[in-house]
Amino acid sequence: MKKYDIIVIGGGSGGLTVASGAASLGAKTALIEKRDTLGGDCLHFGCVPSKAFIEAANEVHAAKHIQDLGIETSGKISLKAVNDRVRQAIAHIQEHDSIERFEELGVDVYNGKATFKNDHEIDIEGQESLYGKRIVISTGSSPMVPPIEGLDEVDFITNESVFTMEQLPEKMTFIGGGPIGLELAQAMSRLGSEVTVIEAGPTLLGKEDQDIQKQAQAILERELHVVTGASVQRVRMENGKKMVYYSVDGEETSIASDEIFLATGRTPNSGSLQLDNAGVETDKKGFISVDATLRTNVGHIFAIGDINGTLPFTHVAGEEGKLVVQNALYGLSRKMSYDYMPWNTYLTPEVFHVGLTQQEAQEKHEEVLIYTNQLEEVDRFVTDQSYEGFVKIITDTKGKIVGAHAIGTGAGDWMQTVVQAMAEGNKIGDLSNMVYPYPNHAEAVKRTADQYWRNKLFSGPVQQVSSLFLKWFR
């Protein structure tokens, strides 16, 4: 039996971060991945393919609306060609996540299904068992299939199958209105499908600031048919169509589609690990319980990424991986903080989020200050003809930023300055004092932050004292 300082189960973003970091620090490292390739869901079914897919859809959308410049377009979209481009993007990035690269770093890579034999030993299907002083679980999550009547008798699409499609459906119904579903629903609509989104919650994007929710939904409703507060009762095949029966306020309605896309959340990939053999505890949904140091209830076993049920984002898994390398190899107890962890929903326009929403901030703090700015007041967005959206920055009474939100083209890029400011403990006034080369998109942040100084300097006691001084000064 081979013995390792650390065994990593799962070759996604978090697992690769731990494996490469541990090996680089001289630890004898094993990485177990059930697939034949590394990269995890992000590379093969999530971030990478979806963004390539969305970019193609946006190009089609732009081409359809280029008539304003006197150019006419025609033709039918080839979904196969779109997904060929998706696979090219995956293949290009796969080179950085290749097994050979990690073996060159000193990682022993094993392909196969991993199960716990006990709290230190891991069985790999068809191979020898491994012993690990420390073990990191990073097996991610999969699309959740809800218990909807008839769903097991009707073919449906998820983010794991959409990128193999070759024919564009005329009509699609998305069950679920979370970020994954909405990104792909908008993309499908822009490619030419007639799309309906059925969401159980009262609004789309339920974790976002309420003002962001309202504007995002209003924009999406121009391209999609959106139904909120809906409960899906059953699905079935009728006359060659996939029927979805749902009720709103007790009234049942049905919709016919060529394809059904499930976007009802994620479920952790923990069921096959035989965690009971190691004594590792999970919650009722199967997510592995961890403390702030990302340790499970078994002190030498850690869990990172989607599997621990915190924030299901690739960059979060990567940050957790960095922390775990230190805690696992050196016995440290550094704690993971999510206070300044941003996320971005890649709709058009994009939706950016970091920190508290206005509602959360008002519940947590006695008093908060709200600074907003419309993108139509920012020259670069006007010249780009993409000025729909706004910025909102939330601070305490001393100017400390507790939350920031935006909806606008490229928001995930130009709002990054706010993330840096929050992480460094800078106040909103510091964002105003930065120099922004004109005309750029980040001026949206500056114009929002400028309001802090206008309120501070041009009203109240400072303005009164200045007026008295100017009357006296000759």
Q: Which of 179, 171, 159, 269 is nearest to 220 (CA)?
A: 179
User: Is residue 161 annotated as involved in ligand binding?
Assistant: no
Q: How far apart are CA 98 and CA 107, in angstroms?
A: 12
What distance in Å separates the CA atoms of residue 103 and residue 20, rounded to the nearest whole number? 10
Q: What is the DSSP string of 181-249?
A: HHHHHHHHHHHT-EEEEE-SSSSSSTTS-HHHHHHHHHHHTTTSEEE-SEEEEEEEEETTEEEEEEEET
- Using DSSP, state whether 459 is helix, strand or coil: coil
* Cis before 349? omega within 30: yes
425 is in an annotated binding site: no
Structure tokens at 360: 């959360």
Pairing relationship of beta strands 121-124 and 130-137 according to DSSP bridges: antiparallel
Dist CA 41 CA 160 (whole Å): 8
Characterise 45 by phi-psi region: left (phi > 0), alpha (psi -120 to 50), beta (else): alpha
Closest by alpha carbon to 210, among 365, 346, 407, 395?
A: 407
321 in a labelled binding site:
no
Q: Are 345 and 312 in contact (CB under 8 A)?
A: no
Instruction: Tell me the three state secondary structure of residue 166.
Output: coil
Nearest to 151 by CA among 232, 230, 234: 234
Asked if residue 51 belongs to a known ligand binding site, the reply is: yes
User: Is 265 annotated in some ligand binding site?
Assistant: yes
Residue 75, both tokens: 């033709």
**Gap between the Cα atoms of 96 and 455, Å rounded:** 49
Residue 178 annotated as binding site: yes
Q: Annotation-wise, does 11 bind a ligand? A: no
Q: Report whether 446 belongs to an annotated binding site.
A: no
Does the annotation list 437 as a binding residue? Answer: no
Is 181 labeled as ligand-binding? yes
- Say if residue 180 carries a ligand binding annotation: yes
Q: Is 182 annotated as a binding residue?
A: yes
The per-residue DSSP string of 247-294 comes to EETTEEEEEEESEEEE-S-EEETTTTS-GGGGT--B-TTSPBP--TTS
Residue numbers belonging to the annotated binding site for FAD: 51, 139-141, 306
Residue numbers belonging to the annotated binding site for NAD(+): 176-183, 199, 265
Residue numbers belonging to the annotated binding site: 51, 139-141, 176-183, 199, 265, 306
